[in-house]
Structure 1
């Protein structure tokens, strides 16, 4: 087997055409984020994983109902627009918010090698999810971020081969993670712009 980032779909590999972001590839890459939180080793992040899973399920359910109208995320949202309950549109919006939080946290960690994950995630939370959360949820996230593992432990887990083989090099993990984050950041920015331009985020 290979290190974690070599075993999941990278956001850098999610197809993007004039019609939009490929729905199934995006969902598969998003599932990789859920697994990434296992490497943070804290049950406190269970609330984040649960939220991501729930929103992935809402988008996938819509795709399964109307695959030809939902093969890109943009088409999925546009084709749900006239319906009373836009479950997939809301689910995707919250999924993007959670992905933005994760992306910015890891970008912080990559940009500052001396910064511990707790600080990197706290900074990311302030500029992504905090404004959408009430007092109770803010408290849950505060606990989760304080429970982040040490930076070295997290990156050692990313390097490890689950099959017991030699770990990947720091350079390899950094390269994979940077490509993953650039792809993720591009997709999140694209979709958030799409939501605002079309007024798809209203009511959520």
Structure 2
């Protein structure tokens, strides 16, 4: 039997966040999956009826001439809802790169995490950076753990990860990446709308 993993300890998985037919994202479940964003919790608690979806939370907050939760959401989307996973990789992610890295890592089973970061960087941010920034990124990626240590950090045990547990982690990671991609896409489109800007 596969041992428990980091994903098993999540209060709520992004894959369990309800998304309506109209792409509305349920706020309570979204916040549970994004526990670290206390500013969003504050807005939801202050006006729960106006905050049933992430989008309505942002639009209704902006009507009050405040934008604390909306700004938090903006940064969350910019960093692709990857806040919960970033500490596991040991490498700070950049806009458009977190989910891209994890997607590549999931799709290229066996590829080392550092290679996934390098390839994702190559298709997302490298075209926007000069030679010096590219070199800094290259050095930073060297700090990424190898797959064995990455999976060990996702397992509940510090012992070697069994093949069964690694397969479970891969399945859970795939599920989370798919859910994150969907939510990020919806929220990016939402944030392009005039009523979502301050």
TM-score between the two structures when normalised by the length of structure 2 = 0.71
Given that 1:97 and 1:129 are in contact with CA atoms closer than 8 Å, whether structure 2 keeps it comes out as no
Equivalent of residue 108 in structure 1, options 104, 109, 113? 104
1:178-197 superposed matches below 5 A: 178-196=174-192
Determine the C-alpha separation between the residues in 2 that align with 1:201 and 1:132. Answer: 26
Partner of 1:17, secondary structure, is coil
Are residue 173 (structure 1) and residue 183 (structure 2) matched? Answer: no
Aligned twin of 1:67: 48
Aligned twin of 2:156: 161
Equivalent of residue 57 in structure 1, options 38, 53, 75? 38
Unaligned runs of 5+ in 2: 81-95
What is the total number of aligned residue pairs between the two structures?
A: 178
Are the structure 2 counterparts of residues 141 and 29 from structure 1 closer, same or farther at C-alpha, using a change threshold of 3 Å?
Answer: farther
Q: Which has the bigger relative contact order, CA under 8 A and spacing at least 6?
A: 1
Aligned twin of 2:57: 76
Q: Which has the larger displacement, 84-93 or 185-194?
A: 84-93
Determine the C-alpha separation between the residues in 1 that align with 2:158 and 2:32. Answer: 22
Are the structure 2 counterparts of residues 77 and 202 from structure 1 closer, same or farther at C-alpha, using a change threshold of 3 Å?
Answer: closer
1:87-102 superposed matches below 5 A: 87-99=68-80, 101-102=97-98
Q: Which has the larger displacement, 71-80 or 115-124?
A: 115-124
Aligned twin of 1:10: 13
Unaligned runs of 5+ in 1: 32-52
Are the structure 2 counterparts of residues 142 and 97 from structure 1 closer, same or farther at C-alpha, using a change threshold of 3 Å?
Answer: farther
1:17 positional shift: 2.4
Are the structure 2 counterparts of residues 180 and 115 from structure 1 closer, same or farther at C-alpha, using a change threshold of 3 Å?
Answer: same
Are residue 120 (structure 1) and residue 101 (structure 2) matched? Answer: no
1:10 positional shift: 1.6
Partner of 1:59, secondary structure, is helix
TM-score between the two structures when normalised by the length of structure 1 = 0.70
RMSD: 3.5
Determine the C-alpha separation between the residues in 2 that align with 1:151 and 1:166. Answer: 11
Determine the C-alpha separation between the residues in 2 that align with 1:200 and 1:132. Answer: 29
Equivalent of residue 31 in structure 2, options 10, 27, 32? 27
Are the structure 2 counterparts of residues 169 and 163 from structure 1 closer, same or farther at C-alpha, using a change threshold of 3 Å?
Answer: closer
Equivalent of residue 141 in structure 2, options 131, 142, 145? 145
